[in-house]
Amino acid sequence: MRCQICRGKASVEVRQHHAAFCPDCFVQYFLKQIKRNIQAHKMFSFTEALLLVVSGGKDSLSLWDALLRLGYNVTALHLDLGIPGYSDRSRDTCSAFAAQKGADLRIISVKEEFGLSIPEIARRTRRVPCAVCGRVKRYLFNRYAVEGGFTTVVTGHNLDDEVAALLGNLLHWQLGYLARQHPHLPSTHPKLAKRVKPLYTLTERECLAYALIQRIPFLAEECPHAEGATTILYKEALNHLEEASPGTKLAFMKGFLKHKDLFKAAEEEVKLKECTLCGQVTTEDVCAMCRLRERIETGINR
Amino acid sequence: MKVILHRPQRKEIEIPGGRKLAEIARELNINLESHLVVRDNNILTRDEFIQDDEVIEVFPAVSGG
């Protein structure tokens, strides 16, 4: 197989675009896709202060590497979840990458913030760790961005993440989530940073290829709580379709964005206000995070 | 030829080589849309011929997310 750009020996096949690339041309293709997504959805400019959320995995580190190469003004933020062993390795991976690139990395710890780690909060409140983790992440990332003067929270969600979420939302007819799912969620309140996903057209396999070619020392280990996650089941199902019919995932995503107005009616008119306890944006008097904090303190599942 | 599988646990298996990666992937039930196969630090396309004395590594791309 030949590289479609330079006609050298191909290394990475990208069947959804009927293409194959040598390692060097693949890197250029990957960077071009990211730049195109940023521009197409007016995600951010070169001067904006970006807060990139990094876990130490292939997706977030590949995006970090790409944004640095493209010359964006990016600061990374890692959240130490306090999961024994795994969180130490995640943090160390991010720190090593930052040191290697001379890049700006901030680290915040869930344990320092709430007095308990994610698994401990989950046990105390009798909730699923992934649900607690998602809520804590969204809250802390937004608060850190707003307080730190960052306009934008950038995440490493890729095409597989997005189509798996889309499939899940369709299977359960989560119309509200469908109305809100988009690679660019603009800020609708002064205390709400906009959220963007520049990798939303690139597959996990392409992110892995970029990380391997660029020799990015990412953490290949899976979060111990992700085992058996429904998301993985959806991703596997979609990859079976992709193998039989290349381009299915991208067409699913692009088709959804094209016809997204179909779900507009489900978009609830929400009035955003500030939490009476912490001042962060919420639709209630007390935000979900403060309610969780209350449960942590009382240890009562309400 | 030797195949090194990563995740859930690292595992090494011996299978007959002298054929294309696509055929090997089919036999091992490896979806090439969710895995990358590497030989000597080079990612391989599905039409790549693997000799009987070579070693390939299979990396899964799917994560919990």
The whole-angstrom separation of Cα A234 and Cα A231 is 5
Flag whether pLDDT at B8 surpasses 80: no
Supply the pLDDT for residue B65. Answer: 57
Q: What is the CATH number of the domain that holds A185?
A: 3.40.50.620
Number of separate domains in chain A: 1
SS3 assignment for A155-195: CCCCHHHHHHHHHHHHHCCCHHHHHHCCCEECCCCCCCCEE
Chain B residues with CB-CB distance to A under 8 A?
6-7, 31-36, 38, 42-47, 59, 61-65
Q: Is residue A101 a part of any domain in this protein?
A: yes
Q: Do A226 and B44 touch (CB under 8 A)?
A: no
Domains of chain B by start residue, with CATH: 2-60 (3.10.20.30)
- pLDDT at res. A301: 47
Q: Is A279 a member of any domain?
A: no
Q: How far is A208 from chain B (nearest CA, A)?
A: 6
Q: Using CA atoms, how far apart are residues A288 and A243, in angstroms rounded to an integer?
A: 41
Residue of B nearest to A235 (CA): B62
- Is A236 in CB contact (< 8 Å) with chain B? yes
Terminal-to-terminal C-alpha distance of chain A:
59
Can you list the residues of chain A whose pLDDT is less than 70? 299-302
Q: Which neighbouring-strand residues pair with A52?
A: A76, A154
Any chain B CB within 8 A of the CB of A197?
Answer: no
Complex ipTM value: 0.96
**What is the residue range of A61's domain?**
38-268
Q: Is A172 exposed, middle or buried (0-12, 13-18, 19+ CB in 10 A)?
A: exposed
CA atoms within 13 A on the CB side of A65: 26
Angle at A281 between CA A275 and CA A286, to 5 degrees: 25
Contact A213/B at CB under 8 A: yes
- Domain assignment of residue A295, yes or no: no
Tokens coding A40: 């197409």
User: What pLDDT, on a 0 to 100 scale, did the predictor assign at position A302?
Assistant: 45
Q: Is residue A76 part of a domain?
A: yes
Min CA distance, A70 vs chain B (Å)? Answer: 24
Residue B3's DSSP bridge partners are B13, B56
A vs B, Cβ pairs < 8 A, gives 81
Return the sign of the alpha-carbon dihedral for residues B10, B14, B15, B17.
positive
Q: How far is CA A171 from CA A134, A165, A238, B64, in A?
A: 21, 10, 13, 19
Q: Give the pLDDT of residue A16.
A: 96
Whether B45 sits inside 8 A of A226 (CB atoms) is: no
Q: Is A75 among the domain residues?
A: yes
Contact yes or no for A10/B35 (Cβ under 8 A):
no
Do the Cβ atoms of A15 and B7 come within 8 Å? no
In this predicted structure, what is the pLDDT of residue A300? Answer: 53
**Cβ within 8 Å, pair B62-A209:** no
Q: Does A258 fall in a domain?
A: yes
- Chain A residues with beta carbon closer than 8 angstroms to that of B47: 1
For residue range A55-75, what is the model confidence (pLDDT) as tens digits? Answer: 999 999 999 999 999 999 999
pLDDT at A51: 98
The answer to whether residue B17 scores a pLDDT higher than 80 is yes
CA-nearest of A79, A53, A59, A176 to A133 is A79
